[in-house]
Amino acid sequence: MQPHPQTTERELIAQETIVAISTPPGRGGIGIVRLSGPHAREISEKLIRMRGPMEHARARLADVPDPETGNKLDEAVVTWFARPKSYTGEDLVEIAAHGSPVVLEMLVRQALRAGARLARPGEFTERAFLAGRMDLTEAEAVRDLIEAQTLYQARVAAEQMGGALSRRVHPGKEKLVQLIALLEAGIDFAEDDVDVTPDAEIVTFIDTITLELGQLAQSWERGRIVHAGLRLAIVGRPNVGKSSLFNRLLERERAIVTAQPGTTRDLVTERMSLGGIPVELADTAGLRETSEEAEAIGVRKSREVLADADLVLVVTDASVPLREDERELIALLAGRHALVAANKCDLPMDDAAAGTGLEMRARAEPGPAIGVVRTSALSGEGVEALRDALAEMIRNPSGERESGILTSLRQFEAVSGALEALDGARGAVADRTPHEMLLLHLYAALRQLDSLTGETTTEDVLNRIFTSFCIGK
């Protein structure tokens, strides 16, 4: 049957049944083949022999026959979810067989012969979005949950999947719609003696919405760190114990440690988790003036890493007085996410070194004081406190625990675009621009917020988002 000439591409896709292996490649105890679409149940019944009738959301045993001999090849647990009460909003069948790649691929080939189509990356979640089972921010959170490397990342993704970001956007969007409705009514009924909304009231609306969205935009810094992690640079003079602390934080010998100053001449990096956030730890060459070419290159790289790092750990020798260049570095870092590890606290303290921590804090004035943790890389004293202090700075730099944050550049750009449009609207009020023109700015802001959750999202944006998913999800 030829499709109706008015049938859209999305409607054509909805008429197709898709299939894919939903478990990671390789061998395992269980492997899942997933089908979704109008013929999912019909096609799945051609692949397996059910031991009883399918029931919605009930797991049932089935045999997987050899397509050539008809003999039993494997056993499977089959679950059918009837539309619309499924992940995709369509009929969906999951066949959980043993995780043999040969058997799973055979099931997919049989499904293709029976009329299914191989799913594109992310197409199951895309269908869930198109069916209204989730908005775009929740769909993106599915990908974030799959890609989560730490439990903390998974918790944030779970909040987003529960609609935390959508709920945070909703009040501002409602106020924007209310303002648009007021202005439209004033224009439509201008000849019927309906009061025109005063400029002061319009500005109050705009300022309230801008404040809410501005706070949301500021969450991008934390969301970026939660999603992608950050770089922590360990810096300081030679022979203060940077590499030893690097190894202590990693809990393994990764960097070479000797008593000779200048051992580290190149960047040594390693990934770890601090406070549930992925962190790239960078051990750098000691900061000092040197005529030795290789070490000089290392020092230059250290300064570059110091400039680009999200978080800086300055290591000093607690047993001797601070040098002037160390004081200058600490003062320079005031206002940045930085921490001082006063290392070698197991050694007798030089009289002149007493009060080092107070000196460091005083030198940070008039900016925020930089925290100091006394450590001994040799004995391990203070290392756990250092790890906790770093984790607190990473996870909660503002001291607040937000729910519903921006975790992708696309989301940040949508909110920024709405703020820019609102700024244009405020300027239009100040210039006493006719309300018809003012509405253009307000509708532009509304479109940006709609694109955030997916009400008005173009096909190319959807393709970019969902093709970043794995196949089978």
Q: Which residues contact 205 (CB under 8 A, 6 or more apart)?
A: 175, 176, 178, 179
- Together in a domain, 100 and 177: no
Token pair, residue 177, equals 């719609």
Residue 23: give the domain boundaries.
9-128
Residue 265 confidence (pLDDT): 47
* Extended beta strands in 352-461, E state: 371-374
Per-residue pLDDT of the chain (473 residues; tens, 9 = 90+): 344 444 456 666 668 999 999 998 888 899 999 999 999 999 999 999 999 999 999 999 999 999 999 999 999 999 999 999 999 999 999 999 999 999 999 999 999 999 999 999 999 999 999 898 999 999 999 988 888 888 888 888 899 999 999 999 999 999 999 998 888 877 765 554 445 778 899 999 999 999 999 999 999 988 888 888 888 888 888 888 888 888 888 886 655 444 444 444 457 888 888 878 888 888 877 666 555 655 556 667 777 777 888 888 888 888 888 888 888 888 888 778 888 989 888 887 765 555 544 444 434 333 445 788 998 888 888 889 998 888 888 765 444 456 788 999 999 999 999 999 999 999 999 988 888 899 999 999 999 999 998 877 667 777 777 888 888 88
- Together in a domain, 22 and 152: no
- Together in a domain, 105 and 162: no
Residue 464 confidence (pLDDT): 75
CATH of the domain at 360: 3.40.50.300
- 448 falls within a domain: yes
pLDDT digits (tens, 9 = 90+) for 144-178: 888 888 888 888 889 999 999 999 999 999 999 99
Residue 330 confidence (pLDDT): 85
- Together in a domain, 231 and 283: yes
> What pTM value is reported for the model?
0.75
- 135 falls within a domain: no
Overall domain count for the chain: 3
- Together in a domain, 252 and 367: yes
Residue 4 confidence (pLDDT): 44
Residue 376 confidence (pLDDT): 87
CATH of the domain at 114: 3.30.1360.120
Residue 149 confidence (pLDDT): 84
Residue 366 confidence (pLDDT): 38
Residue 221 confidence (pLDDT): 84
**Cα-Cα end-to-end distance for the chain:** 30
- Together in a domain, 285 and 389: yes
Are 280 and 300 contacting, i.e. CB atoms less than 8 angstroms apart? Answer: no
Residue 96 confidence (pLDDT): 96
* Extended beta strands in 209-361, E state: 230-235, 268-274, 277-283, 311-317, 338-343
- Together in a domain, 98 and 161: no
Cα dihedral 371, 372, 376, 382 in deg (nearest 10): -60
- Together in a domain, 306 and 326: yes
Are 240 and 344 contacting, i.e. CB atoms less than 8 angstroms apart? Answer: yes
**3-state SS, residue 272:** strand
